[in-house]
Structure 1
Amino acid sequence: MPELRIEAVVNGRKVARNAQPYQRLLDFLRDDMHLTGTKDGCGAGECGACSVFVDGVLMKSCLIPVGKAQGSKIETVEGLARKGDLSILQKAFHKTGASQCGYCIPGMVMAATAALRVNPFADREEIKERLGGNICRCTGYQKIFDAVELARDVQNGRLPVTALAETEVADGKYIGANVRRLDAPGKVSGALKYAGDMTMPHMLHLQVLRSPHPHALIESIDTSEAEAMEGVEGVITAADVPGEDGFGVFVHDQPVMARGKVRYVGEAVAAVAAEDVVTARRALAKIKVVYKPLPALFDPFEAMKPGAPVIHDYAPDNITKHIPIRKGDIEKGFAQSDLVVEQDYETQAIEHAYLEPEAGLGYVDADGVVTIVSPSQNITHHRHMLAKIIKKPIAKVRFIMSPVGGGFGGKEDMIYQGMLALMAMKTGRPVRLVFTREESIATTAKRHPSRTTLRMGLTRDGRIQALSLKMICDGGAYGLSTEGVMRKAAILGAGPYAIPNVQVDTYGIYTNNTPSGAFRSFGALQTQFATESHLDICAERLGLDPFEIRRINAMRDGAETHTKQKLKSVSYLRVLEAAERASHWEKGAPVSRGGARRDFARDGEGVRAPCTLGARFSEDGKLEAAE
């Protein structure tokens, strides 16, 4: 199709540029006009990071074909204030600390600007409604709403302009003071460059061919047609790795690209670098891969069964990591308990949903140093792994951490940086890779799905005598952070409670699902969800207030954990009491019951009876009823 000639007014200046008919307005602004404050977060009109004004109307530029921009007046975040200055609203975002990672903030500023243009006196509820089309994963939104209200009041004269000024810190004491973020101006103005915003002269664009199979042998890869295409400068596979092909956080079990077989749908098999993204994608279709499907495992319990298909040869039982912890005599503890409650708890895989898709830039500098620019959350470890992969001394490998547009643990893994390095070395040119949102969701690590079986024994006054916890986690196809997640889950699984007898087992299991990795709370969420839910159930069984059962068992100063760690100062009771006050909890209020349980009550004479809903004891300690 022929190119389009786009004539428009962008940020007050007339422009006339050629554009490709398949481009979106977003692509035109970012790639042709270099206005990268307009971010590409989802490509589907959901996140609002690409918001711009078109003829005065707030619109999502990822949904607008570039041809629709013909003759339009377009305003981006860069056009809200003179260069080097900030608008009142941008200053308010800076003042209130409304930006964290900052990736969503230019779009959020545009939506907030639109809100105050439509109604300069909008109240907080209207502000919330008008910003409803924009997503932020970091802030919790409250500071953003504060910023819009502050800008509204300054614009309307309710507050002086000095309300936007920096607050002086008394006597240089910054702890506990409201201090401005140093990087906020670049974030609220759209000037800060993330990896996907960065370009270099003579840069190539990388695209990745991914496996359609969850588990299969690779019998052959033919890249000849792709390599022969005009505009293609390089094709790489596992055969291009010169050194030790393996990376990971704890176990280096993942190759840069699939070597010999694929282990999950979406695993990288080959990569193409071309003069533009479209050519690179067309070249991927020319690569011929012959697969021999293998039996696949999608359930960790199936993967643990004897005779199950083996995903990694070094782990014939498909166990990535097992963490066992023992304290006291668990059976003695249950024997001394009046009530024993057993329950299963499950958590699902969760997408990190950071607003910035994975992106990176790789090049070899004039001194032969292989350089990777990416939002890596673990760049020192990545540097050491990459040096072994590309077989270069560490002095010849450099990682530069670009601003991280949200990570939450999900950018701790070196998923694509190795491909950038190999391609930059092969072509001698800078190479950039930017994931689509679909690619990010389908191929990168999620929170570990888990099933926890928890058994707790308590005396009738609510004191925990024994806790047995067994958690099975789906670690997916590669190890990534699974070992660390299992350790943290085991260490924190018993909660902040003084329990004399503890048995904990956490297992990370290989499957042919998308790999699981680090995510906020790093394993503690799964086991703490089970432990705290279980305490509510036990409180109900014993007729105790849920806050009270926690107070009874809370660790105090000088306590020892089930891993034998001595704690000097324990603030749990203070936190618990603050939570009780803040929640306006009505003492003795019932808590909701969970699902099916296996509960047992023991009376004063040692008679053990099944108890599915609750137990009542007489004053002399005999079991009166087990409902």
Structure 2
Amino acid sequence: MSETRITCEVNGRKVARTVATHKRLLDLLRDDLNLTGTKEGCGAGECGTCSVFVDGKLVKSCLVPAARAEGARIETIEGLAGMGPLTPVQKAFHKTGASQCGYCIPGMVMAATNCLRLNPEADIDEIKERMGGNICRCTGYTKILEAVEIARDVIAGRRPEGDLDTDEPLGDSFIGHNVRRIDAPAKVTGRLRYAADMKLVDMLQMQVLRSPHPHARIVSIDTSVAEAMEGVECVITAADVPGKDGFGVFVHDQPIMARGKVRHVGEAVAAVAAEDLLTARRAVAAIKVEYEPLPVIGTPEDAIAPGAPVIHDYAPDNVVKHIPLRKGNPEAGFAEADLIIEDSFSTQSVEHAYLEPEAGVAFVDHDDVVTVHSPSQNITHHRHMLADILGLPINKVRMVMSAVGGGFGGKEDMIYQGMLALAAIRTRRPVQLNFTREESLIASAKRHPSKVSYKMGLKRTGKITAITFDMLSDGGAYGMSSEGVMRKAAILSCGPYEVHNLQVDTRAVYTNNTPSGAFRTFGGMQAQFATESMMDIAAEALGMDPFELRRINMYRKGSITHTQHRLDRASLDMVLDAAETASRWESGAPNVRGAARSDMGGPDTRQPCTLGARIVAEAADLSQGDHPTKASTEAAE
């Protein structure tokens, strides 16, 4: 390994280090100088979490070779305030609540500082432009931009600096007031340490060998070359698991590494713990695995087709979970309907894209307690599963939730903590695993792709008489959170509307795709997209104002929900009123022709709603009070 000597100035201090020539400036700062406020979110210069100043210029340190630091003057997030008070930019971020998970915030603060250094009078458009190279997944950016404007005005003298340290009086309650986060100072200064920032004495680095196949039998694994490499401390596979190998949120169907066969591209097959990252990567490349490809299930429809390959023996029909709900008599409800609408709605797989890639550290302490630090969103459950996997009593397993750099449900699943713990036991040394962004994309759970087949019957008055709702979801290779997602989808399937006759079926099935798991509103988003779209289609077909249609069917006090619960209170009427007012909606039926008369006799200038354009012609008589017709989107086509 070739090396180079670098002498430079970092945060006002002269430093000299000998580093490998393949290293980046980001590696020099984080690994050699322990300046972990500079984060790695993507490694490709896209997210901005690694932003630093080099000779006064803002750069993405993940794109700069370490050798370029020779003779340079470098400033990181830790150097902005040093040991003194926070800068106006940092104080403004604290004041506005601009930091949430905090992982992007050091880079955001650096970008904001750069903006105001270049132009202390930058207007909001210039601020947006100069901050455009930095990504945040939590805040929506509003508070970040507000913080930069406040800092600008303080720096320019138009606003007293004391405003940055004072807040409006709280009175008797915190509710309705902007209350500062107690963890914000650690985030805006880069002091907060996430799992990837942890540095323990004698710590090893882990790398993982992942499957290139979506479905294949593992014929053999040869780790002999990797194990013989200098600097390699251990190589582990599923054969090394001492206890009951299986984890998951509802069904424990996933081994910590592939056992017998792989079920999706990117599944862990083996792992290496070595003295450094480069050695671990070389060892992983030296592991030889022989695969026998198996038939692949690529879609949920394929999974439930007769004769489909079986992904898990316990589920010969490939169904992870089926949630049925029944209420009333849908057949009778459709018979009394004046209008019947049928349509289908599809949603895609979605990546969580949290700024912090998965990371963790495991070690065995002096009392033989296996300890794992990771940004887990479900540490108690993970602890119990890990104890079973390791064959240890629960008091010998400890899980610590490190700072979570964005989760959104995506870090509920224990996809790597077991490997870390097993390697720590084998080596009796701390072991760290940091995912690359590519690994995070390929191995972590996604939002469930779903297809909903929907049928709705309505009276001329707008009252819903019956609904059938059938959702088929791609659960991917393992169960993870699928059961909970299907339960939530079923409960929320028909929206906040009282329907006396309904039939709901939500199913998640196994495929050979990346596993699906929890994601904000898990199951609710897919269901509500379908239901609210159907409500808009129905409003068009009936010639009815869409707000009015919702008011006719909304839950009220005393309503019976889809799951047969009586509501003691309901507030949807207030929500609809507020939404109608805020949107400045002009009451009236949606118009797909674009030139109908308004109530004032002039042209209707509202934007046409096109969701139901295929059935409006068949349903037009309904809005005129003529003899009712029954229409479906299939017939309309």
What TM-score do the two structures reach when normalised by structure 2? 0.95
Going from structure 1 to structure 2, the CA distance change for 1:35 and 1:337 (only over 3 Å counts) comes to same
State the Cα distance separating 1:565 from its structure 2 match.
1.5
SS at the partner of 1:487?
helix
Separation (CA, whole Å) in 1 of partners of 2:613 and 2:409: 34
Give % identity.
66
1:403-418 equivalent positions in 2, closer than 5 A: 403-418=403-418
Q: Tell me if structure 1 keeps the 8 A contact 2:338–2:628.
A: no
1:545-564 equivalent positions in 2, closer than 5 A: 545-564=545-564
Which is worse superposed, 545-554 or 192-201? Answer: 545-554
Q: Tell me if structure 1 keeps the 8 A contact 2:340–2:458.
A: yes
Give yes or no for the alignment of 1:512 onto 2:499.
no
**1:253 is matched with which residue?**
253
Q: Tell me if structure 2 keeps the 8 A contact 1:35–1:78.
A: yes
**1:191 is matched with which residue?**
191
Separation (CA, whole Å) in 1 of partners of 2:271 and 2:338: 62
User: AA paired with 1:193?
Assistant: R
User: AA paired with 1:622?
Assistant: H
User: AA paired with 1:158?
Assistant: R
SS at the partner of 1:326?
strand
Which is worse superposed, 335-344 or 615-624? Answer: 615-624
User: AA paired with 1:63?
Assistant: L
**1:355 is matched with which residue?**
355
**2:47 is matched with which residue?**
47
SS at the partner of 1:17?
strand
Which is worse superposed, 566-575 or 221-230? Answer: 566-575
Separation (CA, whole Å) in 2 of partners of 1:450 and 1:618: 33
User: AA paired with 2:318?
Assistant: N
Residues 246-288 of structure 1 deviation map (CA, whole Å, 9 limit, x = unaligned): 0000000000000000000000000000000100000011111
State the Cα distance separating 1:154 from its structure 2 match.
0.9
**1:476 is matched with which residue?**
476
Separation (CA, whole Å) in 2 of partners of 1:250 and 1:363: 27
**2:202 is matched with which residue?**
202
Q: Tell me if structure 2 keeps the 8 A contact 1:618–1:624.
A: no
Separation (CA, whole Å) in 2 of partners of 1:100 and 1:492: 28
State the Cα distance separating 1:621 from its structure 2 match.
4.1
Residues 28-83 of structure 1 deviation map (CA, whole Å, 9 limit, x = unaligned): 10000111110000000000000001111111000101111111111101110132
1:19-38 equivalent positions in 2, closer than 5 A: 19-38=19-38
**1:614 is matched with which residue?**
619
State the Cα distance separating 1:124 from its structure 2 match.
1.2
**1:323 is matched with which residue?**
323
**1:382 is matched with which residue?**
382
User: AA paired with 2:524?
Assistant: A
Separation (CA, whole Å) in 1 of partners of 2:612 and 2:64: 48
Q: Tell me if structure 2 keeps the 8 A contact 1:272–1:283.
A: yes
User: AA paired with 2:229?
Assistant: M
State the Cα distance separating 1:619 from its structure 2 match.
6.3
**1:606 is matched with which residue?**
none
**2:436 is matched with which residue?**
436
Residues 423-444 of structure 1 deviation map (CA, whole Å, 9 limit, x = unaligned): 0000100000000000100111
Separation (CA, whole Å) in 1 of partners of 2:129 and 2:468: 47
**1:603 is matched with which residue?**
none
Separation (CA, whole Å) in 2 of partners of 1:140 and 1:527: 24
**2:300 is matched with which residue?**
300
**1:142 is matched with which residue?**
142
Residues 380-409 of structure 1 deviation map (CA, whole Å, 9 limit, x = unaligned): 000000000001000000000000000000
Residues 282-334 of structure 1 deviation map (CA, whole Å, 9 limit, x = unaligned): 00111111111100101110110111000000000000000000000000000
State the Cα distance separating 1:547 from its structure 2 match.
1.1
Residues 133-164 of structure 1 deviation map (CA, whole Å, 9 limit, x = unaligned): 00000001000011011111111111111111
Q: Tell me if structure 2 keeps the 8 A contact 1:303–1:309.
A: yes
What TM-score do the two structures reach when normalised by structure 1? 0.96
Separation (CA, whole Å) in 2 of partners of 1:373 and 1:162: 39
User: AA paired with 1:209?
Assistant: L
**2:236 is matched with which residue?**
236
SS at the partner of 1:454?
strand
Q: Tell me if structure 1 keeps the 8 A contact 2:541–2:612.
A: no
Q: Tell me if structure 1 keeps the 8 A contact 2:543–2:622.
A: no
Which is worse superposed, 76-85 or 200-209? Answer: 76-85
Q: Tell me if structure 2 keeps the 8 A contact 1:375–1:403.
A: yes
Q: Tell me if structure 2 keeps the 8 A contact 1:615–1:625.
A: no
SS at the partner of 1:225?
helix
State the Cα distance separating 1:172 from its structure 2 match.
4.8
Give yes or no for the alignment of 1:592 onto 2:609.
yes
Separation (CA, whole Å) in 2 of partners of 1:66 and 1:82: 23
Separation (CA, whole Å) in 2 of partners of 1:397 and 1:172: 43
Separation (CA, whole Å) in 1 of partners of 2:312 and 2:610: 41
User: AA paired with 2:31?
Assistant: D
Going from structure 1 to structure 2, the CA distance change for 1:148 and 1:306 (only over 3 Å counts) comes to same
Question: Which structure 2 segments of 5+ residues have no match?
Answer: 592-607
CA-based RMSD of the aligned residues comes to 1.5
Separation (CA, whole Å) in 1 of partners of 2:461 and 2:484: 36
SS at the partner of 1:296?
coil
Separation (CA, whole Å) in 2 of partners of 1:323 and 1:596: 32
Separation (CA, whole Å) in 1 of partners of 2:555 and 2:215: 47
Matched residues, number: 615
Separation (CA, whole Å) in 1 of partners of 2:45 and 2:500: 54
User: AA paired with 1:236?
Assistant: I
Separation (CA, whole Å) in 1 of partners of 2:51 and 2:477: 37
**1:497 is matched with which residue?**
497
Question: Which structure 1 segments of 5+ residues have no match?
Answer: 600-610
User: AA paired with 1:515?
Assistant: P
Going from structure 1 to structure 2, the CA distance change for 1:68 and 1:617 (only over 3 Å counts) comes to same
Separation (CA, whole Å) in 1 of partners of 2:574 and 2:86: 43
Q: Tell me if structure 2 keeps the 8 A contact 1:615–1:623.
A: no
1:107-122 equivalent positions in 2, closer than 5 A: 107-122=107-122
Going from structure 1 to structure 2, the CA distance change for 1:116 and 1:303 (only over 3 Å counts) comes to same
**1:424 is matched with which residue?**
424
Going from structure 1 to structure 2, the CA distance change for 1:337 and 1:356 (only over 3 Å counts) comes to same
SS at the partner of 1:265?
coil
Residues 489-508 of structure 1 deviation map (CA, whole Å, 9 limit, x = unaligned): 00001100011111100000
Q: Tell me if structure 2 keeps the 8 A contact 1:343–1:596.
A: no
User: AA paired with 1:616?
Assistant: D
Going from structure 1 to structure 2, the CA distance change for 1:359 and 1:625 (only over 3 Å counts) comes to closer
Give yes or no for the alignment of 1:534 onto 2:534.
yes
Separation (CA, whole Å) in 1 of partners of 2:623 and 2:483: 48
Q: Tell me if structure 1 keeps the 8 A contact 2:537–2:612.
A: no
**1:608 is matched with which residue?**
none
**2:597 is matched with which residue?**
none
State the Cα distance separating 1:210 from its structure 2 match.
0.5
Q: Tell me if structure 2 keeps the 8 A contact 1:38–1:190.
A: yes
**1:98 is matched with which residue?**
98
Q: Tell me if structure 2 keeps the 8 A contact 1:211–1:266.
A: yes
Separation (CA, whole Å) in 2 of partners of 1:421 and 1:84: 40
